[in-house]
Amino acid sequence: MKKKTSIKKLELIYMNKKVALVTGSAKRIGKEIVLHLANNNYQPLIHYNQSGKEARNLKKSLFDRGIVSKIIKYDLNNINNIKKFSRECIKKFGTIDLLINNASIFIEDKNSDDRILKNLNINLISTILLSKHIGDHMMKRCSGNIINIGDAICLTNHWTKFSSYTISKMGLDSLTKTFSKNLKNSVRINSINLGAILKPSNKKIRSLYKKNYKTETGITSILNTIDYIIKNKNIFCINGSAELMSLPNNCIDLITLSFGLRNFSDIDTSIQECYRVLKYGGKIYCLEFSPSYSKLIKPSYDFYSNMVIPKIGKLIAKNENAYQYLTDSIQGFYYSILKFFYQVL
């Protein structure tokens, strides 16, 4: 009968592996992230608050597979001691190479200050403070990754009964953009805004989930995205104006623009900036609407664009002018872009 590998022996084996702190990782999405990272050469630091039993079971299951992990308990609603919590996390393995801010709650406001603050503290403020303190540690080591787990639906929809949750997830997006400017290039911060991944356990929330999330992508999509961010070290989030990019000349191989160039405040200046930062032989891929020039299709296309689309906008979005602008800008964009490239080339 084979002897169980001792903890000390396992720790010696895993001494040189990278360390990942995943908040809220005792169950559901956090647990799946931990299992995935453990299979990809990371030592997981499993954070929990109320799910102690699940955290211990996860640690045991990893140990049985020869993987060293550690667990740490902390209530992220207690934002006053986040700095101390950060130090304790670093102390567990001596360092942290990857921070995934996954912990989140989704509770109805119910006009309660406590519930509103709980949503904001756990989903946003603790993430800000944790990213700051762990980020400082990473900058001293000149290496590290921070990944924030957001919610895609909150970027477009506003749930009146869950206002503080919506605000907190929108804040995560701003946090990522702001911190990307403050952190040094050796430390990267990105966000993943999730769609439908795992069904909620709460029946009341499940009905809201079904209404807003039409399709489920499953856990694989988020795991693949995390892998992509970690492995591709040249992914950076830069917040700024298209007319004045904070990038040196001749540094980019490829620029993609999807349904955005037409809405730039100054198209000519924006394209000149793209031209400036592109390397010699670099490419711009631009995906945009264009008018139809087919004699067969053009009459129907023009009628639909100029007469039908604005009326649909008025009926559904209550904003006819915005949809009239859409059709007008499609017509004007094609000629302005041709004119610019004729002048440049």
Q: What is the pLDDT of residue 22?
A: 98
| pLDDT confidence tier of residue 20, bands split at 50, 70 and 90 | very high
Q: What is the pLDDT of residue 155?
A: 65
Tens digit of pLDDT for each residue in 4-16? 445 554 454 455 6
| Residue 124, CA distances (Å) to 62, 101, 102, 162 in order | 30, 10, 11, 14
Q: Where are the domains of the chain?
A: 7-231, 252-287, 298-344
Q: What is the pLDDT of residue 12?
A: 45
CB 48 within 8 A of CB 25: yes
Tens digit of pLDDT for each residue in 73-120? 999 999 999 999 999 999 999 999 999 999 999 888 998 999 999 999
Please give the Cα distance from 158 to 87 (Å, whole number).
36
Q: Among residues 185, 188, 189, which one has the least CA distance to residue 172? A: 189
Mean pLDDT of the chain: 82
Q: What is the pLDDT of residue 342?
A: 59
Q: Residue range 247-272: average pLDDT?
A: 79
- Tokens (6 digits) for 87: 């130090």
Q: Residue range 118-128: average pLDDT?
A: 96
Q: In 3-state terms, what secondary structure has residue 83?
A: helix
The full DSSP string for 115-161 is: HHHHHHIIIIIHHHHHHHHHHHHHHHHT-EEEEEEEEGGGGT---GG
Q: Which CATH number fits domain 7-231: 3.40.50.720, 3.90.226.10, 3.10.270.10, 3.30.505.50?
A: 3.40.50.720
Amino acid 268 reads: D
Q: Residue range 32-52: average pLDDT?
A: 95
pLDDT at 220 over 90: no
Which range has the top average pLDDT, 135-139, 160-164, 169-173, 334-338? 135-139
Q: Would you tell me how many other CB atoms lie within 10 Å of the CB of residue 74?
A: 20
Please give the Cα distance from 79 to 283 (Å, whole number).
46
Q: What is the pLDDT of residue 244?
A: 73
pLDDT at 48 over 90: yes
| pLDDT confidence tier of residue 174, bands split at 50, 70 and 90 | confident
CB 262 within 8 A of CB 330: yes
CB 37 within 8 A of CB 20: yes
Entry pTM: 0.70
Q: Residue range 235-239: average pLDDT?
A: 63
| pLDDT confidence tier of residue 313, bands split at 50, 70 and 90 | confident
